[in-house]
Structure 1
């Protein structure tokens, strides 16, 4: 009965109008925080996701305690409402700094294409990097998030993420030679996967992204919507992703099919760091395509001046946004073909001094199975819980059955022995005459 209940799958996402883009679903277990405009009152961030809200022109501070050995990866994802119009004046910036005010890194992202989509900025504290030694010391730090005062007056939901990467055992590897020349622009494209596309429904964000493996996939997006997919990419592997739109039917009214801000795709590493600075691709009515080919995933990429985001093995996220103006050529939704290939054989990863898998780093056989089954994280967790329950019930059943069989066997043996004793004649005195029933006569 418990297994049947678990097999029912995850709860249906929050209700929304069928003709409207689905909004981003924040993590169910996220820490609720309220960023302070003063660093003196900054609330503490834990490991994992946290949620807040931020208005135009606001500055939020959060506190973070760091050790002297672990690399720490931070991201801030701002969530303008799908379907609204934002542009380069609307943006988000995240920075890490010491309590003395020294900067340990920052990143800013802005809107583009007059289209709302999740804006993710990323920064990391790297203990093996050159630079300010105060940023590698143990102690308190401050996370600062600033929203640009743009055209959208609404307060945006904000999701923060903290990934703590265990320290390495031994020395830190030097930057890999040739990494600077392995950029997306400089890499010849491999042949994309072919075959009949398989249906897949992308998630709303990082938390419910649909797992997929290599192959050809098809989805249908509402204009103005962003859908998310995740792919396991191991150490030494490269991720090739391509998004295609078909031709649009010619309209009877003769309206044009060209859309200047058609669609957009970006890729994010396991710590939610964007791999590319991506704008929108135009659509001319006869079809459209955009693709990316990452450099190989290596620990030492983090110390390179280019291609540094492919620094962690694990789940890589692919986000596809359909511009709202695609409602013209595609009034019934935007059909999207997604071609995904993971190139190269997995290579041994770095030797960590802690549990990297618990931190979300690395690829396991279970991850590959999750991708083959096209599960979200919640569905994968439910499947794992169901499997564990079935194992427990199975072993309990075996134990109970074994004990019952042992009791039955002992009972049978005793019954047989008792029966044998009841019918076995007892010898009387020599030459005596047995009494009734075989027993000797009473004296």
Structure 2
């Protein structure tokens, strides 16, 4: 019995070590104000000041880079002639102090002769406080266009715009290049934007409020389904969430900041920002609220249902609702609140509504990040982020946590080798009496 107990302790200890080693790289990031959780798989890349020296970004691979005030940095991607393509840049100033209204980044996709395909700008706006902001560029396939339609190399130009009075520290960048799946063969898709769509505001939710803590970056965004979700956000902090929105579905979101327990009732303009970004991490829309110590709320403007044809609309908000997948919501609180209300987190509610039944995907085969699966909906129900969801499967623990398969195999072999040796030492020879003088039981 003693040998069996020791054997059990050995197995438990080694398995615990294996689990700990597998779980550590993917643990949730308990981030404080100003801290952003980059994708743990992001590769470092340096932007070039000359386009011919630009490093190439591989499709589907996250990258990290940096950019200083006034810098214009080039990166490069290779496109085919049939796929819509997207490159996103998330600017992460961190806790960088003073920021002006127009401080931000401009991202553009260009042919190598500098012909511009598309561009998008993101800035800090009226709140004038540094926080993660995202922008993306796209190459849309159009039969009637001759610009940016050919296969080959394209430049991605990221420009930082900062006032002289703003903090001069370098900003981090999180970059990602994606290509949309091919359409089903023989399918006839619309070539014009939607003429009209339901634009009424959603009615307030009345269901029971539930607690769910947001993540510190896109890679740690906490999954949500329809409902009223309670969390807290500290001055200078941004909380990230994600919601599965399928074809034909329409998302509505409202953030409501709680009253302050402080006797102070000072007014802070643009105190909270609620932002929405699409599955390619391209900015869709945002809303802000002012705060004076009493409850206040802000809602995103009504957005169209997800549809392929939205990409052809002149409105950037409508165009960004062009594909299904995980849509990202972020809630940022201005650090200016510290002066009047202290630095303690303030409770808020995030109400999320996704309306309409899911439609059919227009893609051939697996939609990847541009689709919603039953598993995604289950992940949203359970409130997992992407890394937690990847680790939840029995065969994906190792891959999601970032530990090498070989390391686990070595640990596993060590366990079984140790057990085999212990069994060999403790086992009686064939035909000999068992320990204690008793014969082993005969087969029935």
Q: TM-score, normalised by structure 2?
A: 0.79
CA contact (8 A) 1:129 1:303 kept: no
1:36-435 to structure 2, matched below 5 A, reads 36-48=48-60, 49-82=62-95, 84-112=97-125, 113-128=127-142, 130-131=144-145, 133-150=146-163, 151-168=166-183, 169-175=185-191, 179=194, 181-182=196-197, 187-249=199-261, 251=263, 255-276=264-285, 278=286, 280-292=288-300, 293-306=302-315, 307-327=318-338, 328-329=340-341, 331-352=343-364, 354-357=365-368, 360-385=369-394
Q: Distance in 1 between matches of 2:191 and 2:324?
A: 16
Residue 98 of structure 1: how far off its partner (Å):
0.7
Q: Distance in 2 between matches of 1:374 and 1:72?
A: 30
What secondary structure sits across from 2:392 in the alignment? helix
What secondary structure sits across from 2:225 in the alignment? coil
Question: Using a 3 Å threshold, how does the CA distance of structure 1 residues 56 and 83 change in structure 2: closer, same or farther?
Answer: closer
CA contact (8 A) 1:83 1:225 kept: no
Q: Distance in 1 between matches of 2:65 and 2:397?
A: 35
What secondary structure sits across from 1:135 in the alignment? coil
Question: Using a 3 Å threshold, how does the CA distance of structure 1 residues 21 and 388 change in structure 2: closer, same or farther?
Answer: closer
CA deviation profile, 1:386-426 (whole Å, cap 9, x unmatched): 5889xxxxxxxxxxxxxxxxxxxxxxxxxxxxxxxxxxxxx
CA contact (8 A) 2:29 2:216 kept: no
Q: Distance in 2 between matches of 1:67 and 1:250?
A: 58
CA deviation profile, 1:200-240 (whole Å, cap 9, x unmatched): 11011111100111111110111111110000011000011
CA contact (8 A) 1:10 1:379 kept: no
Question: Using a 3 Å threshold, how does the CA distance of structure 1 residues 300 and 337 change in structure 2: closer, same or farther?
Answer: same
Question: Using a 3 Å threshold, how does the CA distance of structure 1 residues 309 and 299 change in structure 2: closer, same or farther?
Answer: same
* Unaligned 5+ runs, structure 1: 390-443
CA contact (8 A) 1:322 1:334 kept: no
Match of 1:5 among 19, 27, 32: 19
- Number of positions where the alignment pairs a residue of Structure 1 with one of Structure 2: 374
Residue 173 of structure 1: how far off its partner (Å):
1.5
Question: Using a 3 Å threshold, how does the CA distance of structure 1 residues 137 and 175 change in structure 2: closer, same or farther?
Answer: closer
Q: Distance in 2 between matches of 1:158 and 1:224?
A: 18
Residue 137 of structure 1: how far off its partner (Å):
0.4
Q: Distance in 2 between matches of 1:140 and 1:118?
A: 29
What secondary structure sits across from 1:280 in the alignment? strand
Question: Using a 3 Å threshold, how does the CA distance of structure 1 residues 243 and 175 change in structure 2: closer, same or farther?
Answer: farther
Greater C-alpha radius of gyration:
1
Q: Distance in 2 between matches of 1:73 and 1:129?
A: 18
CA contact (8 A) 1:53 1:158 kept: yes
Residue 175 of structure 1: how far off its partner (Å):
4.9
CA contact (8 A) 1:78 1:119 kept: yes
CA deviation profile, 1:3-51 (whole Å, cap 9, x unmatched): 99289686445676xxx40511111111221111001111111012111
How much is the aligned-residue C-alpha RMSD, in angstroms? 2.4
